[in-house]
Structure 1
Amino acid sequence: MGLLLAGIFGVLSLIFAVALSISILKRDQGTERMKKIAKAIQDGALAFLLEEYRTMYLWVIIFAILIGIVISPYVAVFFALGTIFSTLSGFFGMYIATRASVRTTNAATKSTGEALFVAFSGGSVMGLTVTGLGVVGSLLTYFISVKFLPQVSPLVAVTGYSIGASFVALFARVGGGIYTKAADVGADLVGKVEAGIPEDDPRNPAVIADNVGDNVGDIAGMGADLYESYVGSITAAIILGTLTLGNNASTYIYLITGYGILSSIVGVISSLVASKINIAPQKALNIGSVIANIFAIIVFFIISKGIPNGTNYFVAIITGLLIGLAIGFITQYFTSANPIVEIAKSSSEGGAATTILSGMAVGMESTFIPLLLIAIGIIISYRFSGLFGIALAGLGMLSTLGISLSVDAYGPIADNAGGIAEMSHLSHEVRERTDTLDALGNTTAAMGKGFAIGSAALTALALFSSYIQSMQMDTLNVMSPYTISGMFVGTSLPFLFSALAIMAVSRSAGYMVEEVRRQFREIPGLMSGKADPDYKKCISISTKGALKSMILPSLIAVVSPFAGLIIFMSYGKEFTGGLLAGALLSGVILAIYMANAGAAWDNAKKFIEQGNFGGKGSEAHRASVVGDTVGDPLKDTAGPSINILIKLMTTISLLFGPHIVKFLVK
């Protein structure tokens, strides 16, 4: 009955997402020029995704064949199912987002509250689709393996499914991140810094590619990313829960996820109502989050009281949930308020150099308290419920993902809405409204990334514990030279991965800069607004750069566990254990640093654009744009991809490790 109820809530989430989609599509798109611009963004986003999926699924097929040969053909099917559901979660979210943006722009001609309602409705489609597909897909995998495939352990089945979700998420995050930031950096450096024209000015040849990038990176990529985080947390809880409670653990875990979805639906409705009655945007979004989490806490307590030791499990879940909220609010502080004022002040006093230095300092400072909270959460959840408690804390952190992702996904929609307003030559008042929503969106996006990396730390630790047990090791001996060597190599992997992703953005952005300069130089009448730029050329540059560069960073996560297990033979399990531990520790701190530093630079730029420290066109503004372009690939390409990297490495090691070691011993 518990599994059925969780499935019903998952389906309900999808139905609500469809209902919101229909209501969005019925809204007016505005003028013919707005429709034309929106259509160009929609077509560009769709074209890139199809090319990205075509490239990605070649690797999916290869890896599925490997799973079928080494593990089981049935597990290969579950892996494929995970890739399909992950792809759908990102695609549907992006499809509606690209249509919600122009309708948000049109709603902004009426009021900020109306624009917030449309943008948040679009973001909620993403949030509800990800959680609905996440619980339905995981539940379907578990049910099929238990009822129809007794030869396949349900733990192995859900692990295969989770790897499929992670596989797609990594390609989507890296590929989409490279695309969006190459276009964004190229557009800003030439348009805003060199030419001195406004952001999203239609004369800028890279402006359509920039708006396309918001959707393929910050919507489709983010959807696949958080789908992977959600499924990974469920998988870790099921594996360790089964070892603790037996098969009854799955019912408890799926009930938690199901009621978490119901709580998110309540939260989404609350925020939509708040936006309708013109409550301030920040408060409207906070209302939904607070109500959803209070509702979840009450329901989780009732569910937990009905099972043995349930109170201890409840404490672990709530520990994760509260720490997730705390990390979100800490992120909100470091990406707004005093820190961004200090960065803006540095821009006015010392130019680009001090802008970058102050942003780096803010990003570094922002890592301490979240890591301290994660450490406290690990200790509390372990003291109450052992390793299962750590997995439950990770699950609790993402239990209300439906509302937190809705808040996160609304940001790129508001950003696109502002771009459409600028390109459509709408009034200054409309652009001010969309800019207000966009600035808030940067903070909510940073909060979402904080949630994702916090849950990644707890989930990866739980999966890491499962890896140690599957390798029949009592513990990981940190005095072993193989373990320490693995830790050194593993610590460096997130840095190598980030370097490849950032360099890919830099190369593509370089091509974009040259192309924008060429068009400004060679197209007569472009700067005076009498001629149109060649938008398609810039879209092509971003597309080719992303597709070419996304493969190598993504393969690091796939290849490194195999390399560690095979190269070091009988000591491979120790080396790989150290590899996973090192990647987890360095990856978490690096991801938080890059996400928060990037968001702080972006919001400092927006603070100056509001008229502070000289406003738009000032020396401070030019310096802040440089800071923003440095932060873009950190916060939207490398940073959010690291949490996928560390979990994919761990799940691959967990699934393949015992088989490889067994083969090598023979």
Structure 2
Amino acid sequence: MNYFYLVPIASIAALLCAFYFFRSLMKKDEGTPKMKTIAGFIREGAMSYLKQQYKVVIIVFIILSLIFVTMSFFGLQNKWVPFAFLTGGFFSGLAGFFGMKTATYASARTANAVQKSLNSGLRIAFRSGAVMGLVVVGLALLDISLWYLILDFFVDNADHGHKLIMITTTMLTFGMGASTQALFARVGGGIYTKAADVGADLVGKVETGIPEDDPRNPATIADNVGDNVGDVAGMGADLYESYCGSILSTAALGASAFALNPTMQENAVFAPMLIAAIGVFLSILGIYLVKTKEDATVKQLMDSLNRGVNISALFIAIFTFGILYILGFSNWIGLSFSVITGLLAGIIIGQGTEYFTSSSHKPAIEIANSAKTGPATVIISGLGTGFISTVIPVLSIVVAILIAYLSAIRFDVANMLTAENVSMGLYGIAIAAVGMLSTLGITLATDAYGPIADNAGGIAEMSGLDPEVRRRTDMLDSLGNTTAATGKGFAIGSAALTGLALLASYVEEIRVALLRVNDNVLEFADGHTVDVAKASFVDFMNYYQVTLMNPKVLAGIFLGSMMVFLFCGLTMNAVGRTARNMVEEVRYQFREFKGILTGEDTPDYARCVSISTKGAQREMLFPSLLAVTVPIVTGLIMGVSGVMGLLAGGLGTGFVMAIFMANSGGAWDNAKKYIEMGNLGGKGSHAHKAAVVGDTVGDPFKDTSGPSLNILIKLMSMVSIVMAGLTVAWSLL
């Protein structure tokens, strides 16, 4: 128990460090009066949108909480779940709010600092992004610590082993609150930002020929607001629930795998929390290591960021051996290699994403070259690159799953599917997900840095700063596109491992649900019985006939795969409809107010902000609620085996689709940036206009549908876990 207190200490350290970085940021000069005014418009628009989004989300949370209270009343749910659900959603939203608030204060200060030097701008943007990373891990570990202490005090069970199972499965359910909030943030923010971006680019760059972020463009403020609500608030909420989900699913699997050994059971529950806690301190170290020289190239800037991430990862790998040895695991070396496997998989996915999306590498340059023959070849080339880019992440995850599993069972291949080895192997996979996310404090900083740099470039353009300033912010922005794509790949990769761990945790929740309704024995077709409290994963798989020969499992797999495509279609069309309204509004203002293009009239920015806000609020509801209702309906009709198929199908298809969409979108974006740096004719050329079309197609790929899929994967799992009591109590088939 004494080891546990390192977790709340790490959470407080992360939050204090984030506060220090924020205070340091606020002491920096925001620039000229015009820069301050523009930054104020962006900040006001971002906060206004977030306020509207939270109003909608609160209504949804109240309805779902009432459902959970009703289930608790009828004995189908733990009485703590409604409260855990609310705190998960609250902390997830709070993480996004703090991150976005920091980003909106950082952009103008970054633009102003770049006037002095490139390194000064990088430090401000990155340290501001670090506020998001540290707030996410700090709030997550604080939430986990508080709930563990609360439940350990109140949950009364004579059997200590069963008590820890009850605690960890209850804590796991607050992930549904985090996932629900994250999905609304990602979908709503993604629709907002991409509708504004597409409208600004198609009318401004392609039709009118004015520069990006030109103050004459009515959609430019909405575009910059969108960078914050989608790529900062949305990403923060997204990775908050990934981080919590990986830690809590590992804790739940550890409680089950070591149920017969009370001392090791407690240590298995604490292990993922302690690895994450040490990762916080190492992330802070890595943040301080990020710096560059003044005449740095984009590649050198990327190397600077990678240095901080890689050193943090190296040290967490070393510390993991010590943590698991001190906790007394007999196979501490094997489990340590499981953690390292997750770390390496995350790094490889990040490097693969960088290769396929960076303007410094061949794939994005090839897409740029294809722009010489028009938009059609840009689209074809980008799609092809996106499809091919899935190979490295998928192979990385496949190898990581196998090595993490085998390492945890001491490479006992001959007996890898025995009951004991399955439990340990799944714990190994789950702790690999913790390893991948252990340095989230710095990896998320590199991601949140991107939209801050993008906004800095917009403010520099709108404020009329020296062209050299815009050139420097473009370098930071190009790097930000790559780090954002890398961050999305990292988030999706972690979702795959976390989703697999949650799939195993669902089985553990089924056990708890059966015991809650006093169904204490599994009775098999051949007449033999097994006590539910002592049943293994293999017993549950056999009892519910979770095999590929079961039509309910097959039907569930197809439904899960279909959900991925349906969700992408709904969110893509949502962006399309809102973007269409934005395009019509920008055209209307240019047509009716001729003085806008000559600089004599000021565009009506507020109308474009309003279009994006209303469109996002309206369009985000149906796809988000669909992700909640489909697992429930599947469970009510096809039972546990149907739900297992649904989750497996959604996990496999969703992972590959998310990688494809994120990478193709990132490659299109950086192909455009490559041309804007003066290649192939530069800005305004035929190739540039073709690349802008590709970028507008890629925008909803990489910033709306793609990143939302990794939340969809986990939310369906979380909903299934929370609704397990209803599923085991009643199903049609």
TM-score above 0.5, yes or no = yes
The aligned amino acid for 2:44 is D
Distance 1:644 1:244 in 2: 27
Q: Take 2:355 and 2:51, find their aligned partners in 1: how far apart are those partners?
A: 38
CA distance in 2, matches of 1:531, 1:420: 19
1:330 aligns with 2:352: yes
CA deviation string 1:229-254 (max 9, x = no partner): 10111111111111123232122221
Q: Distance in 2 between matches of 1:403 and 1:419?
A: 25
Unpaired runs of 5+ residues, structure 1, are none
Matched with 1:361 is 384
Structure 1 residues 452-463: aligned runs within 5 Å: 452-463=491-502
**Following superposition of structure 1 onto structure 2, how do residues 245-324 of structure 1 map, counting pairs within 5 Å?**
245=258, 246-271=265-290, 273-274=291-292, 280-306=300-326, 307-308=328-329, 309-324=331-346
State the SS of the aligned residue for 2:80.
helix
Give, in angstroms, the shift of residue 470 of structure 1: 4.1
Give the structure 2 partner of residue 566 of structure 1: 636
Contact 1:275 1:284 in 2 (8 A): no
Amino-acid identity (%): 52
- For 2:127 and 2:108, the matched residues in 1 are separated by 13
Q: Does residue 150 in structure 1 map to residue 136 in structure 2?
A: no
Equivalent residue, structure 1, for 2:444: 405
Comparing 471-480 and 99-108, the one that deviates more: 471-480
Once the two structures are superposed, what CA deviation does each residue of 1:415-467 show, in whole Å capped at 9, x if it has no partner? 00000000000010000000000000011011111111111111111111222
Map residues 43-122 of structure 1 onto 2, 5 A cutoff: 43-70=44-71, 71-122=77-128
- Cα 1:531–1:665 change in 2 (3 A) is closer
Would you say the 8 A contact 2:251–2:270 is kept in 1? no
Contact 2:636 2:732 (C-alpha < 8 Å) held by counterparts:
no
Cα contact 2:218–2:586 (8 A) shared by 1: yes
Q: Verify the 8 A CA contact 2:635 2:731 in the aligned structure 1.
A: no
Partner of 1:27: 28
The answer for the alignment partner of 1:586 in structure 2 is 653
1:427 paired with 2:466, answer yes
Q: 8 Å contact 2:169–2:509 — kept in the other structure?
A: no
The TM-score normalised by the length of structure 2 is: 0.88
SS at match of 1:526: helix
Counterpart of 1:553 in structure 2 is 623
- Contact persistence 2:640–2:727 (CA under 8 A): no
Residue identity in the other structure for 1:34? M
User: 1:650 is matched with which residue: 695, 717, 729?
Assistant: 717
4+ runs deviating over 6 angstroms: 275-279
**Which residue identity is paired with 1:251?**
F
Counterpart-to-counterpart distance in 2, 1:156 and 1:367 = 33
1:473 aligns with 2:541: yes
Q: 1:467–1:650: 8 Å Cα contact kept in structure 2?
A: yes
Distance 2:50 2:486 in 1: 26
Q: Which moved more, 1:147-156 or 1:624-633?
A: 147-156
1:116 CA displacement: 0.3
Query: Residue by residue, what CA displacement relative to the aligned partner does 1:132-171 show, whole Å, maximum 9, x if unpaired?
Result: 1111111211221112233782123212211111110000
Report the AA paired with residue 428 of structure 2.
Answer: G
Residue by residue over 1:69-97, the C-alpha shift from the partner in whole angstroms, topping out at 9 and shown as x without a partner, is 21134211111111110011000000010
Tell me: CA distance 1:221–1:462, structure 2 relative to 1, closer, same or farther (3 Å). same
CA contact (8 A) 1:117 1:275 kept: no
2:369 equivalent in structure 1: 345
Length, aligned pairs only: 661
Residue 400 of structure 2 corresponds to which residue in structure 1? 377
Deviation of the 1:660 alpha carbon: 2.8
Asked whether the equivalents of residues 201 and 423 of structure 1 are also in contact (C-alpha less than 8 Å), the reply is: yes
Structure 2 Cα separation of the partners of residues 275 and 20 of structure 1: 21
Give a deviation string over 1:1-35, Cα, whole Å, max 9, x none. 21111210111000000000000011101100000
Letter paired with 2:66: I
Q: Is the 8 A contact 1:328 1:447 kept in 2?
A: yes
Aligned ranges for residues 111-190 of structure 1 at < 5 Å?
A: 111-150=117-156, 153-190=166-203
Q: Which amino acid aligns with 1:606?
A: K
1:276 positional shift: 8.9
- The Cα offsets for residues 306-331 of structure 1, whole Å up to 9 and x where unpaired, read as 22221111011000001100100000
Q: What is the aligned counterpart of 1:635 among 672, 684, 702?
A: 702
CA contact (8 A) 1:117 1:276 kept: no
Equivalent AA in structure 2 for residue 177 of structure 1: G
1:214 aligns with 2:253: no
Report the secondary structure of 2:30's partner residue. coil
**Displacement of 1:567:** 2.2
Once the two structures are TM-superposed, the CA of residue 659 in structure 1 deviates from its matched residue by 3.4
Is the 1:2–1:254 Cα contact (8 Å) retained in structure 2?
A: no
2:692 pairs, out of 625, 635, 641, with 625
Amino acid at match of 2:175: S
Secondary structure of the 1:482 match is helix
Alpha-carbon shift at residue 544 of structure 1 (Å):
0.4
- Select which of 213, 233, 237 maps to 2:246: 233
Deviations 1:519-551 (A, max 9, x none): 001113110011100000000000000000001
Aligned to 1:494: 564
Are 2:456 and 1:417 equivalent residues in the alignment? yes
Q: Which amino acid aligns with 2:591?
A: R
Considering only aligned residues, what root-mean-square deviation do their CA atoms show, in Å? 1.5
Q: Is the 8 A contact 2:46 2:225 kept in 1?
A: yes
1:522 lines up with 2:592 in the alignment: yes
CA distance in 2, matches of 1:150, 1:12: 32
Provide the secondary structure at the position in 1 that maps to 2:595. Answer: coil
- Paired with 2:102 and 2:271, the residues of 1 have a C-alpha distance of 33
Deviation at 1:469?
Answer: 4.6
Unaligned runs of 5+ in 2: 72-76, 158-162, 259-264, 409-424, 511-539
Which SS does the other structure have where 2:192 is aligned? helix
What is the alpha-carbon distance in structure 2 between the residues aligned to residue 493 and residue 250 of structure 1?
33
Between the aligned partners of 1:62 and 1:21, the Cα distance in structure 2 is: 36
What is the rounded CA distance, in whole Å, between the counterparts of 1:506 and 1:665 in structure 2?
A: 38
Aligned partners of 1:659, 1:578: CA distance in 2, in Å?
18
**What secondary structure, in the 3-state scheme, does the structure 2 residue paired with 1:251 have?**
helix
Q: Letter of the aligned partner of 1:616 in structure 2?
A: K
Question: Of 170, 191, 214, which residue of structure 1 is paired with 2:204?
Answer: 191
